Amino acid sequence: MSGPWPPAWWDGALAAEILQRSGEHLLLVGTAIGLALAISLPLGLWISRRPRWAGPVLAVASTVQTVPSLAIFGLLLTVPLLGGIGTTPAIVALTLYALLPLLRGLVTGLAQVPPGLKQAGQALGLSDRQVLLRVELPLALPTLMAGLRVATVIGVGVATIAAAIGAGGLGVFIFRGIATVNNGLILAGALPAAAIALVADGGLGVLEKRLAQPRAKGATGGRRRVLRLAWLLAGLAVGTVLALRLLPPAGTGTGTGTGTGTVRIGSKSFTEQLILGELLAQQIEATTPLKVKRDFGLGGTGLIHAAVRSGRIDGYVEYTGTAWTTLLDQFTPPPDTPDPAQRVFEETRRLYGERFGLSVFPSLGFENSFAILVRRDEARRLGIATISEAAPHTPGWRAGFGYEFLNRPDGFSGLARRYGLRFAQPPEAMDLGLTYRALAEGTVDLIAGDTTNGLIPALDLQQLRDDRHYFPPYDAVPVFNAATLRRRPELVPVIEALAGRIPATTMQRLNAQVDLDGLGVAEVVRRWRLQQAGPD
């Protein structure tokens, strides 16, 4: 093995979080497989006795398999009965994906039972139910178990996407790794998921062989094998739940005293948000007896806003311009507005309280606006420094933007109208963390990044000045659920103490330590807090 061990991105808390996230992953998959079995077994038996229904039911299950998994997760977010983001829609999606292999395995297995065996059982005086339990199901077990193994392996893989809707699991590391371009974090999610899939497949294979061994003589042997399968699966599900109950919450700290409660801090899925979420978490842990549950990488603005409103998380860091345009549907202040940043902050704080029941704290000390970026050598060659000067060149350029920027009201469509941007092809949609490297490598010629990203100087990129004042102020402000602050008033001075503490240059340096130096987010925040504390 070459290079230092542990690598720079590894920190002491990561191993504990991998364990916890693995437990969350098992819970998602185990619950979904259990529900899928509870649905598919009676449904499969029913359609096996009614062949005219088998085709339509299997066709519906097959259709679910053709829908991209991320689309299923997204669609289920809009179903009010499922409670929005979190584990419930994720479990429903995984259950839907598991139905087809289970149904097809059971129906195929029952169809392959020789009719002569069923007739022999009936000739011996067995009822239809007894024939089913003692003859058909035992003979269909191998095919059913094959379907169960396929459903389980698929479930383990698809469950990684559940992190995109705040359901946790090992996909959290994968999304963090993509956001920070960190292969180590990607592997921290991918390798345990692969191990879980292999162990689950192997374990079910051993179980299938044990069930195939006749341990009872006569007609009762098949029935006992079916009952053993049911009891073993039930025991596995109960054992998983009990084990998860004993696992410590991921990312919690001991604070400064005996824990009296838990606060859930969230973040969006790019580097700066992970750092700011960790900053809130460490600040709370260091100055209160509260423990912190970290729900980082919750996706875009809409998802995390819904999470804090519903109480799924208690707080996170937002940007005033994003809140002003995307969530409050307000217009950008005109350029001649006195102190537009203060106006946007005050109005955002007022409207957040009135409309959403959320409290907005003062700025952490920096603004992170959208940065329209090009390669520095290209800007020098063309002699451009503003977006207006770049507009005439865009018909020959390719653009790449994050998914959210392409759809938000203060994003690409408004920018294109304001400056008359006309690209030869529609902009490429990609993860925000990948756009910088795509620009540096020449895959695209213009992107919308963020002004505090450490990759801008490192990759020799140039920000074009927003000379027509399209973007509003984007001050970084903590946002908390007001009900949480009423229950935990000790949080208010803790969060207020962070006001004005982080200049834009500091934020850019912290981002660079994660994106370029490969340090772990928690380690970067710990170092910054130690520097702020000064010598003992």
CATH number assigned to the domain comprising residue 163: 1.10.3720.10
The amino acid present at 52, given as its one-letter code, is R
Name the residue with higher pLDDT: 304 or 477: 477
Q: How confident is the model at residue 238 (pLDDT cuts 50, 70, 90)?
A: low
Domain shared by 127 and 210, yes or no: yes
Contact by Cβ (8 Å): 522, 13: yes
Distance CA 41, CA 44 (A): 5
In a domain, residue 23? The reply is: yes
In a domain, residue 195? The reply is: yes
Contact by Cβ (8 Å): 73, 89: yes
pLDDT of residue 345: 93
Domain shared by 184 and 236, yes or no: yes
Which residues span the domain enclosing 417? 370-464
Where does a domain end: 213, 246, 279? 246
pLDDT tens digit sequence for 373-422: 999 999 999 999 999 999 999 999 999 998 888 888 888 999 999 999 99
Distance CA 327, CA 320 (A): 10
Q: What mean pLDDT value characterizes the chain?
A: 82
Domain shared by 304 and 237, yes or no: no
pLDDT tens digit sequence for 46-68: 888 888 888 888 888 888 888 88
CATH of the domain at 376: 3.40.190.120
Domain shared by 314 and 438, yes or no: no
Name the residue with higher pLDDT: 324 or 403: 324
Distance CA 32, CA 112 (A): 27
Query: Measured in Å, how far apart are the chain's first and last C-alpha atoms?
Result: 39
Domain shared by 436 and 508, yes or no: no
In a domain, residue 252? The reply is: no
Q: How many domains does the chain have?
A: 3
Domain shared by 234 and 116, yes or no: yes
Q: Within 13 A of 53's CA, how many CA atoms are on the CB side?
A: 10
Where does a domain end: 464, 493, 514? 464
CATH of the domain at 268: 3.40.190.10
In a domain, residue 31? The reply is: yes
On the question of a cis peptide bond just before residue 334, with omega within 30 degrees of 0, the verdict is: no
Facing residues of 399 across strands?
A: 446
Domain shared by 353 and 389, yes or no: no
Highest mean pLDDT among 220-224, 251-255, 428-432: 428-432
Domain shared by 169 and 291, yes or no: no
In a domain, residue 255? The reply is: no
DSSP state of 373: E
Q: Is 0.75 surpassed by the pTM of this model?
A: no
In a domain, residue 254? The reply is: no
Helix (H, G, I), strand (E, B) or coil at 126: coil
Distance CA 340, CA 469 (A): 11
In a domain, residue 1? The reply is: no
In a domain, residue 104? The reply is: yes
Tokens of 6: 């542990």
pLDDT of residue 2: 43
